[in-house]
Structure 1
Amino acid sequence: MHPLARLDHRYVWHPFTQMRDWLRQEPIIIVSGRGSRLYDVHGREFLDANSSIWTNLHGHNHPRLNAALTRQLRKIAHSSALGLANEPAARLAAELVRAARTPRASGPALTKVFYSDDGSTALEVALKLAYEFTRRTRGPGSRPRFLSLEGAYHGDTLGAVALGHIPLFHRTWRKLLFPTDTVMAPYCYRCPFNRARPERADARTYRQCRWECVDAVAGRLEQQKKRRGEPYAAFVLEPLIQGAAGMIPQPAGWLARVSELARAQGVLLIADEVMTGFGRTGLPEPRRLSASHAPLFACQHEKVRPDFLCLAKGLTGGYLPLAATLTTRAVFDAFLGRYDEFKTFFHGHSYTANQLGTATALENLKLLQSRGSFRARIRLQECLARELAALWAVPQVGDIRQVGLVAGVELVRDWTTREPFDLREQAGIRVCQAMARRGVLTRPIGNVVVLMPPYCTRPREVRQIIHTLAEACEEVFGKTPPRGRSGTRRRARP
């Protein structure tokens, strides 16, 4: 075993990892990276098929991001944002507000930026601001309550955990949490209202339903108002696709519909774009867009303007921890007052608005808005769509869900019945381990294999990733012939 592996085993406690299993084998120890590739201590090369847990955008060791970080390092690494301002943070805030503009959308514009450290803290900021804003605008008797989706995951700080509804992640802490309400998420593949038989296609394309998932949101909003005498303070969601829930995409139009329902009742909208932001959800009709008009945020795809936009992960292109919560002038104004009124937002972090992070994020935004990045994202989106189709030949593939540059491949015991593997069987884990042995790194969410490569990933590398996944399935499950009918595509019923 490599000396670094022994050090890791002796001292490091890894997140979301059963350490007894971890200590049984030598881990992959990454020492360098370039583009879409990572290299370990033994000189082995791997394709980074999940962008180092959804953070890296343009590839590792990018020369422009390296240069921006180095330039800032020559000036200063960090100074406090408590009582002081700094250049890159001010410039980045202006650029984020500009990038978040959504023309022809109703509702107030996002004009203010509060910096923090990661996705959890970005949500924690939005949660606290929405809570206090509601109390101040509805009166001291208000009892702000929050609504989020089934399968929601919004981070690991206690406020963010309270918004989450994945029992495996959250039940341990339930006695520490404040109560929140949950509502049905639009999971077309396993929706109880979808009357369509399984086909070899994305379930959103052949579903047969009457938008019962939207009706469920409407019912929950109305129930809250009647039972408690006031609407929810905020509805919290990941737009277009839920990440940790298992890469669960929303059918086109769902986001706009439920946003209108919330707006009609005066419910704030908190958009968690920690994973979906900065181009991850791709480009609608990419060949008709220009780089300057390409949406960077999922909400923009359906002309939705949230009251809070929570950003992290790809904000620095995968280089440094940095998060931002964008909000409206109305929310900001509710915290203005004389010093002795103590209306200040009493919340902050030691590394808030760190110069190294904000300087790198500025360059990251410039890259995203360049023609080169725009063309790379079009190429990757279209290549993923072409290559993923080959996986329908794998009998254990039940659903393939692609939203832009994000894909989730759900593994099942029998695709004709949608019968899932028991989580104890570790089907997703075993497939990803087999992929790693073949030089492709990703991490599953239960039985869903996540594919989210950096934007610089080339078509031949996408083919390698997909081919490796198919080979890994054959190794883990054996070579079983496809079962049942192949199915035909039908237009989804409105």
Structure 2
Amino acid sequence: MNRLAQLDVRYVWHPFTQMRDWMRQEPIVIVRGRGPVLWDAHGRKYLDANASIWTNLHGHQHPALNRALRAQLQKIAHSSALGLANEPAALLAAQLVRLARLREQKDARPRLNNPALEKVFFSDDGSTALEVALKLAYEASRRLGRSGPKPRFLGLEGAYHGDTVGAVSLGHIDLFHRTYAGLLFKSDAVMAPYCYRCPFNRAQPERADARQYRQCQWQCLGQLENRLGRARRRGQPYAAFVFEPLMQGAAGMIPQPHGWLRQAAALAREHGALLIADEVMTGFGRTGPLFACHREGVQPDFLALAKGLTGGYLPMAATLTTLEIFNAFLGEYAEFKTFFHGHSYTGNQLGAAAALASLGLLQKPGAAALRQRLARHLAGALQTLWDLPQVGDIRQEGLVAGIELVKDWRSREPFPLADRAGFRVCEAMARRGVLTRPIGNVLVLMPPYCVSPQQIEQMVEVLRVSVQEVLGKEPGNTPRRSR
């Protein structure tokens, strides 16, 4: 075991990691990267197939981001946002507000009363971005008379919105959250549109994304409407509906069928709930449009951004909201209506400089078209996985893909989580030079935008061979669904 690995094993406590397993073997120690490639302390080379846990948009050591950081370092690295302003944070806030403007879709149904997002509150990461939205929605709802004295929140089953106490309270993954139940406030959950395992989907398994062959009557939306209606009739309407647009990340890369988001947003607005969109993973072009909500013409009251905001270089987050929410906190000093919340590194100059450079790359001519071509290439490569009997569902939005592993595709029977099926496949992938991390039994591919078509094919082929090695080499008789 090399010296760096020894130091890590002796001193570092890793997130979401059973450290007893970690300490049994030499960890991979990353020492450098360029583009979509990483190198470890032994000089071994890997493809970064999950964009360094969903953060890295443009690749490692990108010259434009490096230049932006060097230029900012010649000025100042950080000064407080408490009582002071700074140049890159002001420029970044203006850019985010401009990019978040939504053009109304005149022929879209149902019609939505979309607000304008005009104010930006900076913080540090996805958890804090949601924490800001939660606190603002809670207090603004009381001040504006939108809810009772104890505003309540509604989210989706399987939701994950971060690890601060407020963000955990909005989440609904029992494995992650039950330990902290005594610390949390209660929030409610309604079924997510998980077509592959939906109890209302009458379709038999096919070799295609379950959204394509589902047979249902949108019961998931019916349950959302019932829950919102019951709360309102009791005189306790929800202060806000919290969701990840287009795809739930930590739930297992669960994509929403086309039309769900717009209809769900309309129902929430109809029943008086504010919309909190968690775009920590889905934003900045990852799922297609710059902001995932805009795919279906939805503009939330709170837009929470992080991860890719700085292109994966530095921790930084932003929560965008409306003038109505902002004005609810205005008053004379002695009224103490101030938003009493903050972070030491709020509006950090280095983070803001990197974010401005990243936004510039996202807006370059041809950048969106390139992402679309890569997404199509990824979709084509993923088709080769349907021959594996252990592949139950393949779900993709833009440059995000989730491959759900099952014992057999015909039965959809899952592997027990204790079997570590997803982890064992990812370990086999690492031995072949591709790094990613599973969500339970779901394998995730989420490459940086600088990846080549050939590297995408390599990622998928390594995944395929690793599934065969770990879970069985016999391909099933699994003809693909005709299109």
Give 2:191's aligned residue: 184
Asked whether 1:32 is paired with 2:32, we answer yes
Asked whether 1:148 is paired with 2:155, we answer yes
Q: What are the equivalent positions in structure 2 for 1:245-324 lying under 5 Å apart?
A: 245-282=251-288, 295-324=289-318
Summarize deviations over 1:167-201 as a string: whole Å, max 9, x none: 10000000100000010000000000000000000
Matched residue SS, 1:371:
coil
Matched residue SS, 1:465:
helix
**How far is 1:364 from its partner?**
0.4
The correspondence for 2:412, drawn from 418, 430, 447, is 418
Whether the 8 Å CA contact 1:270–1:310 is kept in 2: the answer is: yes
Segments of structure 1 that go 5 or more residues without pairing to the other structure are: 283-294
Matched residue SS, 1:75:
coil
Structure 1 pair 489–222 and aligned structure 2 pair: CA distance change class (3 A):
farther
Matched residue SS, 2:320:
strand
Summarize deviations over 1:98-129 as a string: whole Å, max 9, x none: 11111016321000000000000000000000
Structure 1 pair 140–230 and aligned structure 2 pair: CA distance change class (3 A):
closer
Asked whether 1:486 is paired with 2:453, we answer no
Give 1:65's aligned residue: 65
Give 2:140's aligned residue: 133
**Separation in 2 of the partners of 1:22 and 1:10?**
11
Give 2:92's aligned residue: 92
**How far is 1:399 from its partner?**
0.2
**How far is 1:479 from its partner?**
1.1
Give 1:466's aligned residue: 460
Asked whether 1:381 is paired with 2:381, we answer no
Summarize deviations over 1:391-441 as a string: whole Å, max 9, x none: 001110000000011000000001001010000110000000000000000
**How far is 1:231 from its partner?**
1.2
Matched residue SS, 1:344:
coil
**Separation in 2 of the partners of 1:307 and 1:26?**
46
**How far is 1:140 from its partner?**
9.0
**Separation in 1 of the partners of 2:231 and 2:146?**
18
Asked whether 1:45 is paired with 2:45, we answer yes
Whether the 8 Å CA contact 2:122–2:347 is kept in 1: the answer is: yes
**Separation in 2 of the partners of 1:371 and 1:60?**
21
Whether the 8 Å CA contact 1:35–1:62 is kept in 2: the answer is: yes
Structure 1 pair 139–361 and aligned structure 2 pair: CA distance change class (3 A):
closer
**Separation in 2 of the partners of 1:225 and 1:181?**
14
Whether the 8 Å CA contact 2:287–2:400 is kept in 1: the answer is: yes
**How far is 1:225 from its partner?**
1.3
Give 1:175's aligned residue: 182
Asked whether 1:119 is paired with 2:121, we answer no
**Separation in 2 of the partners of 1:397 and 1:405?**
19
**How far is 1:375 from its partner?**
3.5
**Separation in 1 of the partners of 2:254 and 2:54?**
15
Whether the 8 Å CA contact 1:376–1:456 is kept in 2: the answer is: no
Matched residue SS, 1:257:
helix
**Separation in 1 of the partners of 2:255 and 2:194?**
7
Asked whether 1:206 is paired with 2:199, we answer no
**Separation in 2 of the partners of 1:73 and 1:417?**
57
Query: Identity of paired residues, percent?
Result: 69
**How far is 1:457 from its partner?**
0.5
**Separation in 1 of the partners of 2:170 and 2:52?**
25
Q: What are the equivalent positions in structure 2 for 1:228-247 lying under 5 Å apart?
A: 229-247=235-253
**Separation in 1 of the partners of 2:150 and 2:443?**
40
Structure 1 pair 141–461 and aligned structure 2 pair: CA distance change class (3 A):
closer
**How far is 1:139 from its partner?**
7.5
Letter in 1 for 2:45: E
Give 2:439's aligned residue: 445
Whether the 8 Å CA contact 1:205–1:489 is kept in 2: the answer is: no
Summarize deviations over 1:201-255 as a string: whole Å, max 9, x none: 000000000000110100110111123x131000000000000000000000000
**How far is 1:478 from its partner?**
2.1
**Separation in 2 of the partners of 1:233 and 1:176?**
21
Whether the 8 Å CA contact 2:151–2:238 is kept in 1: the answer is: yes
Give 2:80's aligned residue: 80
**How far is 1:480 from its partner?**
1.7
**Separation in 2 of the partners of 1:48 and 1:38?**
6
Letter in 1 for 2:332: R
Letter in 2 for 1:356: L
TM-score (ref. length: structure 2): 0.97
Summarize deviations over 1:310-368 as a string: whole Å, max 9, x none: 00000000000000000000000000000000000000000000000001100100000
Segments of structure 2 that go 5 or more residues without pairing to the other structure are: 106-112
Letter in 2 for 1:242: Q
Whether the 8 Å CA contact 2:146–2:272 is kept in 1: the answer is: no
The correspondence for 1:196, drawn from 192, 197, 203, is 203
**How far is 1:489 from its partner?**
5.0
Matched residue SS, 2:380:
helix
Whether the 8 Å CA contact 1:201–1:489 is kept in 2: the answer is: no
**Separation in 1 of the partners of 2:244 and 2:384?**
28
Matched residue SS, 1:402:
strand
Whether the 8 Å CA contact 2:148–2:236 is kept in 1: the answer is: no
Whether the 8 Å CA contact 1:153–1:163 is kept in 2: the answer is: yes
TM-score (ref. length: structure 1): 0.95
